[in-house]
Structure 1
Amino acid sequence: MSSPAPPPEQAPAPSPRPPGTFKVGTLAGADVLVSSSWFLVAAMIAVLVAPRVDQVTPGLGAWKYVAGLAFAVILYGSVLLHEASHAAVARHYGYPVSSITLHFLGGATAIEGEARRPREEFWIAVVGPLTSLAVGGVALAVHTLRPEGLLLMAVEGLAGANLLVGILNLVPGLPLDGGRVLKSAVWGATRSVHSGTIVAGWVGRVVAVAALFWPTFQSEVLGWPVGIVDYVVAIVVAMFLWTGATAAMASARLRSRLPRLVARNLARRTLAVPDDLPLAEAVRRAQEAAAGSIVTVTSDGRPVGVVNEAALLATPEDRRPWVATSTVARTLSEGLALPADIDGEQLILAITRTPAAEYLLIEPDGSIYGVLSTADVDAAFRAAGH
C-alpha cells in the first residue's frame, strides 16, 4: 500500500526516520526501513514454518528455525518488491518517495502529498497488487519444474502468499490498493478527488466489518474449524482497515478546504526599506503607508529579509531608533520566498517544509507582491472549515 505525491519541482526536505525503524538499504530511490515489529512477525513465521521444514528436510534440529527465518526474509522480499513497484511508478510520474517500511502487517510506501490526476492514482496503486500476482505466477511456474525439499516449500509459500496478497489488495476499499483504484475511478467519473476518497473510505469500512466477522462466517456457514488465533487476526486486520479508511476520509475533508487558501488573497501589504534603516523610522514609514509588513532590501533593491512581527513587538520603543531594521528581520533563506500565486496544497507543503512566521511573496517578474503571515493562513484555514 502507498500514499501519493507533490509536484516534481518541489522536492521535500528529508524526513526524520520514524522511531523504532532501522534503515537496511535503498531501493527505487527510497530508504528501505524495517520496523521493530517485523522481527516479531519473522520469529512467528520461523516457529510456524519449522514443523513443515522438519517434514521436507528431517534431521535439521534447531536449524529448522533458521530455515524458517530465511523463509520469512524471502517472503518479505516479495513484499518489498510490491512496495518498490509503488515507489518506481510514483518516481516515474515525478513524485518524491521518502521511504519503504516493512512492518508487522506487510509494508508501506511513503509518497509525499497527493496524486494530481486519476490516471496517476490508478497506476501508482494497481502496480503493487500486479507485482504480487506476477511474483506468485513466477513461483507457480517454478513449481511446475518439480523442485524438492526446502526449495519446494519456499516456492509453494511464495506462490500462495503473493497470490493471496495480490487478490486481497485489489479489494476496493481504502486503505488497500484496490481502494485507491476505486478512488481513481470515482474521481475520474465525478471530477472530484474528495468524492473518490469518501466513497472508497466507506467501502473500506464495510470491508473492515466483513473482516471482523470472517471467522464467524467460516465457522457457522462454511463449517471450517476456527481458533482463537483466527479471531485475533481478524480483529487486528479489521482495526487496521477501519482506522486507515477513517484517516483517509478525514484527510479528504481536510484537503477539500485547501483550495480556498490562496497566498495572494491572504498577503499583507508590505513596505520595502533599507536593511540598515533605524527600526523606529521603518515602523513610522510602514504606519504611514498602512503596510502590514516590512521587508528589508539592499541598496540595489534586492530583498534580503522579512521583519519578524514577534521580534519587532519584543523590541522596546526607546531602543528602536538605535537598532537597524535588519536586527529583527529573518534572512530570506531558501523556502522563505514563495510565488505570489501559490495556493492550496502546495502552499501548505511549502510552509511545512520551511516553517516560519512570515514569507515573502514574489511576482513572476521578480517584484515583491507582499508578505504572507502563517497566522493569517491558520486563521483562513479555520474559517474555511465553518
Structure 2
Amino acid sequence: MRSSISLGRVGGVPVGLNISVLVIVVILVVGLAFGRFPIAFPGLPAAAYVLAALVSALLFLASLLAHELAHAFVARRHGVEVSGITLWLLGGVAELRGEPRSPGADLKIAGVGPLTSVVLAGVFALLSWAVSAVGAPPLVSGMFGYLAAVNVLLAVFNLVPAAPLDGGRVLRAFLWARWGDRMRAAVAAARAGRVFGYALIALGFLNLVSGLGLQGFWLALIGLFLVNAATAEEQQTQIDAALHGITVGEVMSHDPVVAHPDETVAGLVDRLVLRHHLSTYPLVDDEGRFTGLVTLGRVRRVPPDDRAVTRLRDIACRPADVPAAHPGDQLTELLQRMSGSTDGRAVVLGDDGRLVGLVTPTDISRTIQTVDLRSREPYRTPRGADLAPPSPESPAPRGPAPRGPAPRGPAPGSPAPGGAAPPAGRRDAA
C-alpha cells in the first residue's frame, strides 16, 4: 500500500495517507453529522454536528495511527526495520521489513496494537466523563464517548485469532512457542485468517439479502481482503521457507554490465542496450564504486530528442534507494528489503565496497523455480493489516479495523468501513 500524501515522520517512522483514506473521512462525517449525533443530541445547529463529526473523524484517524505507531516502535526495539506507515481505505498498514527472532518478540509486536487501542479507549472515556462533569455540552461528551467505544471495538476485532489481524500474530507466536516451528505456526495462522475471511464474506451476503445492503457490502469487502491477505501470507511463508539458507552470492548475476554516470542515455542505448538486451545497468565511477542504477523503464521515459544530452546520473535511481547486500547475506533478508524498492533490483557489493553482482526479479524467479522445497526457519513474516470495526450502533455483527503488513473494517459511526493494515505489507495486522 503506497502513500499518496506524506505526513512526514513520527519518531523517525515515515507516515503517509493513501488518497482512499478520504473515503473514511467522508463516511464518518456524513454518518455522524447527519445520523448518529442529531439522533442522540437533537436540537443543535447543523454546523455543530458537522464540526463534531470532523473532529471525531480526525481523532479516529489519529487513533489508527497511534495503533500502527505502537506496532512500529516495539518492532524497532526488537530489531525489526520499519519502512513506513500508511493509512488507507480499510485502515492502517505498518510495513515491517524483518522478522522477530523469538515468539516473545512476535507476541509483543502484535499485542501492543490492541493494547494501545484499549488505552486510548480509556483516555477518551475519561475525557467524556471530565467534560460532562464541568458542564460541557452533551455533544462534546458524546463525541468522546463514541471514540472510546470505537477504540474498544478496534481492539476486540483485531484480537480475532486470524492472520493478518493482530490476533493472528498472537496465535502465531503461541503456536510457534508450542511447536517450535515458525513456518508451521505461520501457515496455521494464515489458514485461520482465510476461514475467518470467508465467514465475513458469507455474513456480508446474508446481510445483503436481509436488507442491510451497505453493511453487508463492507463486511464482504473486509472478508475478501482478509482472504487475499491470508493466502498471500501463506504463500510467502512457504517461499521463504524454501529459500532459507540460500545466500545472495548463489543467486546474483555475477559481473554485471555497467555504465559510467557521465555517459549519455543515447550512448548507453547504442553501446549496451541494443547489444546486450538487458533490463538493468548499474552505474560505477572510475574507481568502481556504485553510483546509481538505470533500468530500461527509466531510459524509455527520456524523450528521444533529449537522450543525446541527458546523462545517466540524471535519470538513475540513487544508491540510497537501491537495496545492497554482500554475497554471504541470506537471500530471504535481502528480499524483505527489495520488496517495495523503487526499481525492484538490488546490488551486491564486495568487502571493499565495489560492485560484484546484481539481483533482479529474473534471478529470484529462476531460484524459486529450481530450489528444492524444504521447510526451514526463520521465514519471512507476511505483511498484515489492522481492520476497523463496524459502527457500534450497527445491528450487524462487529467488523474489523491492515499491521501493519499491515486494514481496518467499516468506519465506525456509519454503515461503512473504517481503517487499519495488507499482506505483502505492514508488517502485521493491527
Question: What TM-score do you get using the length of structure 2 for normalisation?
Answer: 0.62
Moved more, 79-88 or 339-348: 339-348
Moved more, 329-338 or 204-213: 329-338
Alpha-carbon distance between aligned partners in 2 of 1:373 and 1:101, rounded to the nearest angstrom: 28
Q: CA deviation at 1:18?
A: 2.3
Match of residue 288 from structure 1: none
Q: CA deviation at 1:371?
A: 6.1
Alpha-carbon distance between aligned partners in 1 of 2:372 and 2:123, rounded to the nearest angstrom: 50
Alpha-carbon distance between aligned partners in 2 of 1:170 and 1:189, rounded to the nearest angstrom: 19
Equivalent positions of 1:1-386 (< 5 A) are: 18=2, 21-50=4-33, 51-54=35-38, 55-56=40-41, 58-145=43-130, 147=132, 148-214=137-203, 227-263=212-248, 331-332=289-290, 338-349=325-336, 359-362=348-351, 379-384=366-371
Partner-residue secondary structure (3-state), 2:46: coil
Alpha-carbon distance between aligned partners in 2 of 1:26 and 1:367, rounded to the nearest angstrom: 30
Residue deviations 1:117-163 (CA, integer Å, cap 9, x gap): 22222111110011111111233344444724222122221111111
Alpha-carbon distance between aligned partners in 2 of 1:336 and 1:210, rounded to the nearest angstrom: 40
Question: What TM-score do you get using the length of structure 1 for normalisation?
Answer: 0.69
Residue deviations 1:69-114 (CA, integer Å, cap 9, x gap): 2211111111111111011111222333222111222211112233
Partner-residue secondary structure (3-state), 2:99: coil
Tell me if the contact between 2:323 and 2:346 (Cα under 8 Å) persists in the aligned partners. Answer: no
Structure 1: 5+ residue stretches without partners: 1-16, 269-291, 296-309, 316-325
Tell me if the contact between 1:261 and 1:380 (Cα under 8 Å) persists in the aligned partners. Answer: no
Alpha-carbon distance between aligned partners in 1 of 2:332 and 2:172, rounded to the nearest angstrom: 19
Tell me if the contact between 1:261 and 1:377 (Cα under 8 Å) persists in the aligned partners. Answer: no
Residue deviations 1:304-334 (CA, integer Å, cap 9, x gap): xxxxxx969959xxxxxxxxxx999964457
Tell me if the contact between 1:80 and 1:107 (Cα under 8 Å) persists in the aligned partners. Answer: yes
Tell me if the contact between 2:347 and 2:359 (Cα under 8 Å) persists in the aligned partners. Answer: yes
Paired letter, 1:66: L
Identity between Structure 1 and Structure 2 (%): 26
Give the direction of change, closer, same or farther, for the CA distance of 1:330–1:382 in structure 2 (3 Å limit).
Answer: farther
Partner-residue secondary structure (3-state), 1:115: coil
Partner-residue secondary structure (3-state), 2:7: strand
Structure 2: 5+ residue stretches without partners: 258-270, 277-283, 292-318, 374-430
Alpha-carbon distance between aligned partners in 2 of 1:153 and 1:111, rounded to the nearest angstrom: 36
Paired letter, 1:344: L
Give the direction of change, closer, same or farther, for the CA distance of 1:258–1:330 in structure 2 (3 Å limit).
Answer: farther
| Greater C-alpha Rg | 1
Tell me if the contact between 2:56 and 2:143 (Cα under 8 Å) persists in the aligned partners. Answer: yes
Alpha-carbon distance between aligned partners in 1 of 2:336 and 2:23, rounded to the nearest angstrom: 36
Moved more, 106-115 or 143-152: 143-152
Alpha-carbon distance between aligned partners in 2 of 1:96 and 1:246, rounded to the nearest angstrom: 24
Instruction: Give the CA RMSD over aligned residues.
Output: 3.9
Give the direction of change, closer, same or farther, for the CA distance of 1:381–1:152 in structure 2 (3 Å limit).
Answer: same
Moved more, 205-214 or 121-130: 205-214
Higher relative contact order (CA 8 A, sep 6+): 2
Alpha-carbon distance between aligned partners in 1 of 2:102 and 2:227, rounded to the nearest angstrom: 26
Give the direction of change, closer, same or farther, for the CA distance of 1:190–1:45 in structure 2 (3 Å limit).
Answer: same
Partner-residue secondary structure (3-state), 2:66: helix
Residue deviations 1:191-227 (CA, integer Å, cap 9, x gap): 322212110011001111222233578899xxxx861
Higher relative helix content: 1
